[in-house]
Structure 1
Amino acid sequence: MSMRATRSSVRKRDVGGQAYEDTPSGLSEPTLEISRKTRRPAKRPRVDKEETDRIRAGNARQTPKTDAEITSKIEDQDGTEIDPESGADIDEDVAAVKRDAARPPPVNSEYLPLPWKGRLGYACINTYLRTSTPPVFSSRTCRIASILAHRHPLHNEMLPEHATHNRPNRAAPADVARGCRYVEGIGLANVRDVPRMLRWNDKYGIRFMRLSSDMFPFASHEVYGYKLAPFATRALAEVGGLAAKLGHRLTMHPGQYTQLGSPRQGVVENAVRDLEYHDEMLCLLKLPEQQDRDAVMVLHLGGTFGDKTATIKRFKTNYEALSASIKKRLVLENDDVSWSVHDLLPVCEELNIPLVLDFHHHNIIFDASQVREGTHDIVPLFPRIKATWDRKQIKQKMHYSEPRPEAVTARQRRRHNPRPSSLPPCPNDMDLMIEAKDKEQAVFGLMRTLKLPGWNSFADIIPYERTDDKRAVLKKVRGTETQAGRDINKVGDVSPKIRREVDEMAEDEIGMGGEDSRVYWPPGMEEWLRPKKRDVRKREGPPI
């Protein structure tokens, strides 16, 4: 006998922070429970947005922050949380948004460096090659726990490693050298993909690239670090030989934690090890003399630690203690948190260090007593900046990116626009690093917009389809083959027809865009690079 639920009054309940009316019902108890979950919540009273803004602004006025407090907060968040190429939103309080929105408008130069004769570059990752089959990239990594685990032999050393069926046997004796060979193998896999990236760049008119600092995982670690020679000597020399042949420029950019101005000795020691690692990698490329000079390491000065003067003094002391090889490559870049061009230029002139001008950073952190926001007022400093490069006979480079269109506050403007829309007023023969989330596609976008050399060397990709990898060839001629026959990993089991077409596809053609050079994906359509996900619809069951 089913029980009936009775209600003598209307009660209010709260589900997920929203109120709904619980009214009497004649449904059976099980059905009533389902009805409670699916019942539409009652509308919440609307809150006056202007009133909310007024309250928030009042709270902000009650607890004003000093410039030092604001700077400290931004430094902490920038150092640990904010990724310039991330698309995530940044929440700001109303007062900060209103304050920054009312700042004087930027004053930009009217000069456009056309006709363009320089080199545009991108950093570390090629989005098209990264999603090819097999993927091509140079930042494979691992965890320290994996290094420790691979000090032990596999359960069956006659078979390849498998995530579940053939893992390291922790009961067997550990061998430090075995663990080192494991992480070195990851580094070599990264290096072996760089030549294909260089050939791809050359095909599409890109002759400037930043190598990934993550190419050799944990190489500069205090405990698990290792030297690159001799195990990577040959592989890196092959990369350098190809770069020399194609006339490409290669640079590097140590990370934000490499700080020579830190008051903590441990941080400085870590920074020196990291610079030694980057320097060794660039030296092992064995580039010709001028290309070797141009293979610089870009460094930020880092935090101010509450005292810019003391930080600069520590930086000078630690810089003088560096090896001659590191000092030959080290260049400084203005940042978007603490150090402006006017802060760094005197330091660079005194220590004979080239200065990288980053236009995007300059528009956020600048000396308001000498210049206005924008690109116009910085142009008179170009001769002094160029002189820091000429003294060392290094080809000058600059960095360029743009803030996202919706950005207002300084923190929000630090986010990079996925694709900048124009060029800065730099000399038209500049080596210009485009720092953007869309990497090589951002370079393509500038080529197309401004009709730069190479703008017609590439075409749009076909959504969700690839015509330049072996999986695409198998799909093209699969006919009525079995699923195993269509699997690229089981190519030995397929018919002679498929095997012949796969074998005839040259290794150098994989990921290169095919006959029509289809390597460009429109803004916001990165999902086109991968096969479209199947839309699996669940069968509707009988009503409950």
Structure 2
Amino acid sequence: MTKVRLGYVAMSMELKNSSPSQTMTYTQFQTIPNREAAIRKLERIALSNLENCFRLLKHNLAHDIRFFRLSSKLIPLATHDDLSDWNYIKPLLSILNEIGTFIIEKKMRIDFHPDHYVLLNSPKSDILKNSLQTLQYHADILKSLHIDLQHRCVLHVGGSYKNKESALDRFIRNWGHIEEDIRKMIMLENDDKSFHLQDTLYLCEKLAIPFVFDYHHHLANNENEDWEKEWERVVNTWSHSPLPVKMHISSPKSEKQFRHHSDYIDIDMLMKFLNTIVGSVDTIDCMIEAKQKDHALFRLMEQLEERSEVEIIDGASFHIK
């Protein structure tokens, strides 16, 4: 028997006017003649994002959802070079502390998935510098929430740069120069175009990084690897983590747009995966990456109630027998 906990990404389709990703571009920032007034406006936007984030977490708890990906856009322009003197945490510390206390008391698992421009294997020093700056921003938020940094940021391996072997080696070289706090945060995910299961496993095993297996990505990008034979290796990458194994589940939009995410989850696709791994772990956290966000989770739970091999625990978790 394996316990499965479902989560979803950043935004709710049910909770209205709750975006945690409201933003301001640097061009807009520059149109405000008084720099201090512009920064105060940034802080108001960030406060609104965090208040909405708190609303989302409360909404999730009401539906038994204790696994959630926070938006990386909570504090706009936080990593912009021209705002390096802005202490963006200080004016938001009260709401951050409140959110963090709620997460810890309610035993929620939260994490981030920084944007695709975070490339730890980039050959360009400026891109690597900006990537580390972005990861430091995520670390600052986690620290202000009083959440342990360990395994809270999912990344892709990065770019292949027309030579995948060199790109993998460069990831390893760059890893050695990254501060411990940042390395501690990282989980790696196989992607749908470049770095498949074996590539990602190679790095995860060599560098002691947990592997977040994306089943949809594997179906889109593989070299006839039998993921079932490698599952034990995936699980073992989590042996040093305080958190349960995590995976991503999404479904193809169509045969023609196979890599694109569908609005909802194909339950047969999910159950094929879960019935294969049942008993291999006590608990697995499945992050739903679907356009319909929490609606996709609610619909999936309704469908799961009809499956004989499923034992429902609550509104967002179940056992596979």
What TM-score results when the alignment is normalised by the length of structure 1? Answer: 0.53
Whole-angstrom CA distance in 1 between matches of 2:255 and 2:315 = 29
The one-letter code matched in structure 2 to 1:214 is K
For the residue of structure 2 that corresponds to 1:126, the secondary structure is: coil
The partner residue of 1:127 within 13, 19, 22 is 13
1:184 equivalent in structure 2:
43
**Contact conserved, 2:151 with 2:184, CA < 8 A, in 1?**
no
Which digits, 9 at most, give the CA deviation of each residue in 1:159-199, with x for residues without a partner?
Answer: xxxxxxxxxxxxxxx3x333222212211111112222111
The amino acid of 1:194's aligned partner reads C
1:341 aligns with 2:197: yes
Corresponding residue for 1:140? 22
List aligned pairs for 1:463-502, cutoff 5 A. none
Q: 1:419 aligns with which of 250, 254, 264?
A: 264
Out of 189, 194, 198, the residue aligned to residue 57 of structure 2 is 198
* CA gap 1:396/1:294 in 2 versus in 1, 3 angstroms: farther
In 2, Cα distance between the equivalents of 1:358 and 1:380? Answer: 16
Give the direction of change, closer, same or farther, for the CA distance of 1:308–1:295 in structure 2 (3 Å limit). Answer: closer
Cα distance between partner residues in 2 of 1:324 and 1:294? 10
C-alpha distance in 1 between matches for 2:182 and 2:60: 28
Deviation (angstroms), 1:394: 3.2
Give distance in 1, aligned partners of 2:301 and 2:60.
14
Alignment CA distance shift 1:362-1:276 (3 Å) = same
Q: Which amino acid aligns with 2:83?
A: Y
The 5 A counterparts of 1:339-418 are: 339-368=195-224, 371=225, 377-404=226-253, 406-408=254-256, 412-418=257-263
More strand by share: 2
Within 2, Cα distance between the matches of 1:266 and 1:379? Answer: 39
Q: Which has the higher contact order (CA 8 A, sep 6+)?
A: 2
* Residues 234/321 of structure 1: CA separation in 2 closer, same or farther (3 Å cut): farther
The equivalent residue for 1:219 is: 78
In 1, the alpha carbon distance for the partners of 2:172 and 2:222 equals: 22
Residue 440 (structure 1) aligned with residue 294 (structure 2): yes
Structure-2 separation of matches of 1:358 and 1:382: 12
SS across alignment from 1:223 = helix
Over alpha carbons, which structure has the higher Rg? 1
Give the letter aligned to residue 393 of structure 1. Answer: P
Q: CA deviation at 1:241?
A: 0.6
Q: Is the 8 A contact 2:11 2:18 kept in 1?
A: no
Q: Write the mapping of 1:447-466 to structure 2, written as runs, cut at 5 A.
A: 447-451=301-305, 452-454=312-314
| Equivalent residue letter for 2:12 | N
Q: 1:284 is paired with a residue of what secondary structure?
A: helix
Whichever residue aligns with residue 49 of structure 2, its letter is N
Shift of 1:395: 2.4
For 1:441 and 1:257, locate their aligned partners in 2 and report how far apart those are by CA, in whole Å: 29
- Output the amino acid matched with 2:21: S
Number of matched residues?
300
Q: What is the SS of the residue equivalent to 1:260?
A: coil
Matching residue's letter, 1:390? S
1:377-416 Cα distance to aligned partner (Å, 9 max, x none): 3122122111111123332210011102x323xxx21111
Letter in 2 for 1:218: L
Counterpart residue type for residue 41 of structure 2: Y
Separation in structure 2 between the aligned mates of residue 227 and residue 282 of structure 1, nearest angstrom: 15
> Paired residue for 1:499?
none
Compute the displacement of 1:295 (Å).
5.4
SS for the counterpart of 1:127 is coil
For 1:245, the equivalent position in structure 2 comes to 105
Partner of 1:61: none
Structure 1 window deviating more from structure 2 (220-229 vs 271-280): it is 220-229
Match of 2:167 in 1: 311
2:62 is aligned with 1:208: no
Tell me, in whole angstroms, the C-alpha distance in 1 between the residues paired with 2:14 and 2:51. 17
- Asked if the contact 1:123–1:439 (Cα under 8 Å) also holds between the matched residues in 2, the reply is yes
> What is the rounded CA distance, in whole Å, between the counterparts of 2:164 and 2:60 in structure 1?
41
**Paired residue secondary structure (1:367):** coil
Instruction: Specify whether residues 260 and 195 from structure 1 end up closer, same or farther in structure 2 by C-alpha distance, changes over 3 A only.
Output: same
Matched position secondary structure for 1:121:
strand
In structure 2, give the amino acid aligned to 1:352: A
Provide runs of 4+ in structure 1 moved above 4 Å. Answer: none
- How far 1:419 sits from its partner (Å)? 0.5
Change (3 A) 1:218 1:124: same
TM-score, L = length of structure 2: 0.88
* Per-residue deviation, 1:297: 0.2
Structure 1 segments unaligned to the other structure (5+ residues) = 1-114, 153-173, 372-376, 457-544
Q: Which moved more, 1:276-285 or 1:219-228?
A: 219-228
- Displacement, 1:223? 2.4
- The one-letter code of the counterpart of 1:126 is S
After TM superposition, give the deviation of residue 449 of structure 1 in Å: 0.2
For residues 387 and 228 of structure 1, the distance between their equivalents in structure 2, rounded to whole angstroms, comes to 38
Q: 1:384 to 1:285 in 2, by over 3 A?
A: same
Identity of aligned residues (%): 32
Runs of at least 5 residues in structure 2 that lack an aligned partner in the other structure: 306-311, 317-321
Q: Equivalents in 1 of 2:266, 2:166: separation in Å?
A: 39
Residue 260 (1) aligns with residue 120 (2): yes
Instruction: Encode CA deviations 1:132-161: one digit per residue, 9 max, x unaligned.
Output: 3xx1221111121221223x3xxxxxxxxx
Q: Once superposed, what is the RMSD of the aligned Cα atoms?
A: 1.9
Cα distance in structure 2, aligned partners of 1:336 and 1:214: 24
Structure 1 residue matching 2:193: 3-state secondary structure? coil
- Provide, for residues 463-482 of structure 1, a one-character-per-residue CA deviation record: whole Å limited to 9, x for no partner: xxxxxxxxxxxxxxxxxxxx
